[in-house]
Amino acid sequence: MSQAASAIAETPRSNRFALAALILGGAAIGGSPIFVRLSDVGPMATAFWRVALALIPIFISSLAKGKDAGPKPEKASDYALLILPGVVLAMDLAAWHLSITMTSVANATLLANLAPVFVTIIGLLFFGAVVTRVFVLGLVLALAGVVILKGGPAALGNGDLRGDGVAVVAAVFYAGYILAIGKLRSRFDTVRIMLWSTASAAVCIFPLGFFYEDQMLPPTAYGWAIVFGLAFVSHASGQVAIAYALAYLPAAFSSLTLLLQPIVAAILAWVLLSEPIGPMQAIGGGVVLAGILVARRG
């Protein structure tokens, strides 16, 4: 078999593996609200420990790969591009956590999940992305599912308008993070990208936590276990899986698939926090999955 034919044969398999990694990454990040809810420290401090502690497994993975970690940054522009996703991620985490204190949790979570809309818009305006009608239909279905999952349109009337606006800002930042990672994956290895972006996110979030929170250090072993779980499961595992998938899947579709996060969060809240899943949540989860399947065909 020729090299070209071999590459063609391997592409669907790589895409399937990337889709599995994307779904697992979205599920891992979907657990982050549970860790944040259970944390002994405030939201900004929790966000700092999430990225700071995640550097441990990511750095170990980087050392293990050694020369297999792919090309290194050579110019100042390369370093800037590697740092950029972390800066954007820091702003996303800060805005999302802040919005939770300013508006209802339902509003903050729902509006922060508008990232796929902004990924699609930015891709169309600045990157010449091609979006089919089938994909748009899937996007609309998935977003409708998120609205149903969070209690229907009536839930939008229970929050503060300023907090709602901050949650939308968080969605814009997360869209920028997804697009930045997607562009970098064509040049650099996943572990290298995550090492630089996670380190830069920790540097950016630390002053926010230091000045915004009364306490930075978790006071108990339980508190440390929670932030370690958030760092290792939601960031080190979840974000690395997503970064890997973005090398093989379009950014717009990848961001849409991450709408699985509210479903995972709802299930974990039911199991771990005894928050019941009602008919609206079940229907909403089904609509989100249907939207993803439709978009996959587009």
Among 100-104, 196-200, 230-234, the least confident range: 100-104
Among 45-49, 237-241, 267-271, the least confident range: 267-271
Q: What is the mean pLDDT of residues 57-68?
A: 79
Q: What is the mean pLDDT of residues 200-221?
A: 91
What DSSP state is assigned to residue 91? H
Digit-coded pLDDT (tens) for 275-288: 666 777 678 777 77
> From CA 174, how far away is CA 189, in angstroms rounded?
21
Check if the beta carbon of residue 95 is closer than 8 Å to that of residue 101. no
- pLDDT for position 53: 94
For residue 11, pLDDT beyond 60: no
| Domain ranges across the chain | 15-296
What is the pLDDT confidence band of residue 72, given thresholds at 50, 70 and 90?
A: confident
Q: What is the mean pLDDT of residues 65-87?
A: 81
For residue 148, pLDDT beyond 50: yes
> From CA 181, how far away is CA 57, in angstroms rounded?
19
What is the pLDDT confidence band of residue 224, given thresholds at 50, 70 and 90?
A: very high
- 187: helix, strand or coil: coil
Among 36-40, 43-47, 52-56, 220-224, the least confident range: 36-40
Among 168-172, 214-218, 225-229, 243-247, the least confident range: 243-247
Higher local confidence (pLDDT), 7 or 185: 185
> For 14-111, where are the E strands, in sequence order?
none
Which two structure tokens, joined as six digits, stand for 2? 């020729």
Among 234, 197, 241, smallest CA distance to 32 is for 234
User: Based on C-alpha coordinates, what's the Rg of the chain?
Assistant: 19
- pLDDT for position 126: 72
Q: Which residue has the tokens 């497994």?
A: 57
> From CA 37, how far away is CA 30, in angstroms rounded?
13
- Displacement of CA 289 from its chain's centroid (Å): 17
What is the pLDDT confidence band of residue 203, given thresholds at 50, 70 and 90?
A: very high
For residue 10, pLDDT beyond 50: no
Average pLDDT over the chain, rounded to an integer? 78
Among 62, 144, 157, smallest CA distance to 107 is for 157
What is the pLDDT confidence band of residue 155, given thresholds at 50, 70 and 90?
A: low
> From CA 270, how far away is CA 103, in angstroms rounded?
22
> From CA 236, how far away is CA 56, in angstroms rounded?
9
How many percent of the chain have pLDDT more than 70? 77
Residue 24 phi/psi, 5-degree rounding, is -65, -40
For residue 252, pLDDT beyond 80: no
Per the confidence metrics, is the pTM higher than 0.75?
Answer: no
Which two structure tokens, joined as six digits, stand for 265? 């969060």
> From CA 248, how far away is CA 6, in angstroms rounded?
17
